[in-house]
Amino acid sequence: MKRLLILLFAVLHYTFNAQIIDSTWLSKNYIKKEIMIPMRDGVKLFTSVYSPKDTMVKSPILMMRTPYSVAPYGQNRYSPLLSSSHFSTYAKEHFIIVLQDVRGTYMSEGEFMDIRPFIDEKKNNKDIDEASDAYDAIDWLVKNVAANNGKVGVTGISYPGFYASMAMLCGHPALKAVSPQAPVTDWFHGDDFHHNGAFALADAFNFFSGFGRPRYGPTKTRPSGYKITEKDIYTFHLKQGALKNLKKILGDSIQFWNDMVKHPNYDEWWKDRDIRNHIKSEVQPAVLVVGGNFEAEECYGAWNLYKSFVQTGLQNKFLAVGPWFHGGWHRSDGSYLGNVRFGSKTSEYYKQNIEVPFFMLNLTSKPPVKKPFPVTVYFTGENVWRMYDTWPPANSYPFIAYLNENKSITFTKPVNKTSFSTYTSNPANPVPYEELPGAKRSREYMTDDQRFASNRPDVLTFQTEPLRRPMILAGPIAADLKVNVSSTDVDFIVKIIDVFPDDFKYDTMCCKGVKQEAKMSGYQMLVRAEIIRGKFRNSFEKPEPFDTTKTETVRLLLPDVTHTIKPGHRLMVQIQSSWFPLFDMNPQTFTNIYTCDDKDFVQSRIKVFHQADAASNIILSLAPPQQ
């Protein structure tokens, strides 16, 4: 009974501390100081330090380094971040909270560089990177901020997640816990601006048209991005034509855009900017990697950063992935995305059972209610959390689904001697990434109904019969396509889709409305999709044109999936060669997309084979049901 009361008290304690605080509470209980912290090369970084007024108890430091500003500036003006659901919990727990403008941004000194490479061997104080800046900031904080307990954590979402990853490599003994969340990891293979060499046009243009412009000294403001006046981004980008035409809008001052043009292939410049190439066995702090299963930006980065820990044999590393959009675990309750419902407030579960316990365990002497599991992932479809010792699960196994004639998917290899499906990819009429693109790229497209694409002649659609048993997708998915194309280059997009039954009924306690069930009947839910620029099918370092006289293999690895296709549902696969303007339109001519002309764009006739000696297939990672 006594143990039960203690547990109940602990749960009530964390529930109370989960309450969101306001600026009045902050000003009463916290004091803010604005400090210019010196780095080893003399550059000073603007830092806001929020410390509890009560200094009787020593507190841990939780830091976020960001290129997006620590605003508002001013000693008596408090960041709204501290009133957010998660950070308010740490404020209630007496954490010292530190926000820092990274080098060359907003009020910090120095020169900014996008995804600044890590320097493995620093020879002098001029050899700086984001890891050395993190080290110097941590060192100053533990030596100069009153009443700290000598333990530091670093966190951040998206680009701040990149800076958290870099801090992980800094080697400071006071750094005990790091949480890169939706971290920028690899901008060539899967995060933000390129996926397998294909250029993510909509996001890159939106980001760099404002953020990428040069700064001429410390400032509290930055230029806004280009305002698209057309009704939708599909129309706007289609009118622009070849990528180089955007120079008329962007000008020549956006450094990273200019660098990309110089490095169209995966060369040493890109490799230096992939943090996984710098992870060694000496990464000491505990690390919690967080990602969203429906992340439009850094889905790749979260899964693959964690896998690099597994491959390197690092211990005390954790992974949490839920059914969230970009940063949705902090920015929503995680109960739905678009039309798809997840049955519970998954973000609250994550905060109370994963993130807060992680930092409490590693930064304080106050034990959490329970220790986080090494891997905690949410399976949509059946809407359940599952815990594993590692990822992919040790008991997962490959399962081959074959594309077959009559638009079918079978689980045995085709026997026909000649069988293929064909479509034409027309650069003047690319497949839109969602049915009705708006003025901005949506986040809901990650779970959107794909029936609009199924009806297009330039999209191939294959599906199974209704499943008799659940299909638990738990890990990466690979597409192995046998193709012939009539042009020297072409993209391939593969979509994994859960087709709901025509008489669909919700079987959870939420969202049982008749109208919602009718909307979801026959719904083709996008579960995962990925693209590859065809010329990179054999090598990202050395692209090759297609041989139009041959059948060739295009192998595409999709980011990991945690989704259960339930009995009565169908597995669907769609194949297409444009996904616009999410990704730029491949001219379908073997060329440099950054410098090619409008005249280089051609139509391409594509055959996807499903016959005995050329059996296109999808390799699924399946997990058995948990007992």
Degrees to nearest 5, angle at CA 136 with 131 and 142 = 120
- Given this model, what pLDDT does residue 507 score? 65
- The H or E element spanning position 452 is helix 451-454
Lowest mean pLDDT among 62-71, 105-114, 361-370, 530-539: 361-370
- Render pLDDT for 484-504 as a digit per residue (tens, 0 to 9): 999 999 999 999 999 999 988
Q: Is residue 283 scored above 80 in pLDDT?
A: no
Nearest-5° Cα angle at 222, 217 to 227: 145
pLDDT of residue 10: 38
Task: Say if CB 289 and CB 318 are below 8 A apart.
Answer: yes
Residue 625's pLDDT is what? 86
**pLDDT score for 480:** 98
CATH 3.40.50.1820-classified regions of the chain: 2-188+271-388
* Distance, CA of 223 to CA of 204 (rounded, Å): 16
Cα Rg, the chain, nearest whole Å:
25
- Give the span between the Cα atoms of 353 and 361, in whole angstroms: 12
pLDDT at 510 over 70: no
Assign 508 a pLDDT band (cuts: 50, 70, 90).
low
Q: For the ranges 18-22, 118-122, 239-243, 382-386, which has the lowest average pLDDT?
A: 18-22
Does pLDDT of 511 surpass 60? no
Give the residue from 410, 421, 417 showing the smallest Cα distance to 461. Answer: 421
Per-residue buried b or exposed e for 331-363, using 16+ beta carbons within 10 Å of the residue's own CB:
ebebbbbbebbbbbebbebbbbbbbbbbbbbbb
pLDDT for residue 222:
83
pLDDT of residue 3: 35
pLDDT band at 509; cut points 50, 70, 90:
very low
Entry field: residues in the chain = 627
Asked whether the beta carbons of 99 and 33 are under 8 A apart, the reply is no
pLDDT of 627 higher than 70: no
- Does residue 519 have a pLDDT over 90? no
Rounded to the nearest 5 degrees, what angle is found at the Cα of 181, between the Cα atoms of 39 and 325? Answer: 140
- Fold category of 2-188+271-388 in CATH: Rossmann fold (3.40.50)
Instruction: Assign 367 a pLDDT band (cuts: 50, 70, 90).
Output: confident
What proportion of the chain, given as a percentage, has pLDDT over 70? 95
Residues spanned by CATH 2.60.120.260 within the chain? Answer: 397-622
pLDDT of residue 9: 33
- Give the integer Cα–Cα distance in Å for 526 and 498: 7
Give the pLDDT band of residue 8 (cuts 50, 70, 90). Answer: very low
| Alpha-carbon separation of residue 602 from 199, 426, 453, 591, 605 (angstroms) | 18, 7, 22, 12, 10
User: Coil, helix or strand for 626?
Assistant: coil
Pick from 424, 458, 420: which is nearest to 588 by CA? Answer: 424
**Alpha-carbon 531 to chain mean position:** 15
Q: Determine whether domain 397-622 maps to CATH 2.60.120.260.
A: yes
Which residues are CB-contacts of 464 (< 8 A; sequence separation ≥ 6)?
A: 401, 408, 409, 410, 570, 571, 572
Report the distance separating Cα 520 and Cα 132, nearest Å. Answer: 51
**12: pLDDT strictly greater than 60:** no
Token reading at 469: 């048993």
pLDDT given for residue 370 in this prediction: 75
Average pLDDT over residues 279-293: 89
Closest by CA position to 376, among listed 304, 293, 454, 299: 293
Q: Tens digit of pLDDT for each residue in 193-238? A: 999 999 999 999 999 999 988 898 999 998 788 989 899 999 999 9
Give per-residue pLDDT as tens, 96-151. 999 999 999 999 999 999 999 999 999 999 999 999 999 999 999 999 999 999 99
Phi, psi dihedrals of residue 164, rounded to the nearest 5°: -65, -40
Task: Output the pTM of the full model.
Answer: 0.94
What is the average pLDDT score of the chain?
Answer: 93
Q: Which two tokens stand for residue 280?
A: 């060694």
Does the pLDDT at position 512 exceed 80?
no
Per-residue pLDDT tens for 554-610? 999 999 999 999 999 999 999 999 999 999 999 999 999 999 999 999 999 999 999
Q: Is the pLDDT of residue 40 over 90?
A: yes
Residue 315 is predicted with a pLDDT of: 84
154 or 369, higher pLDDT:
154
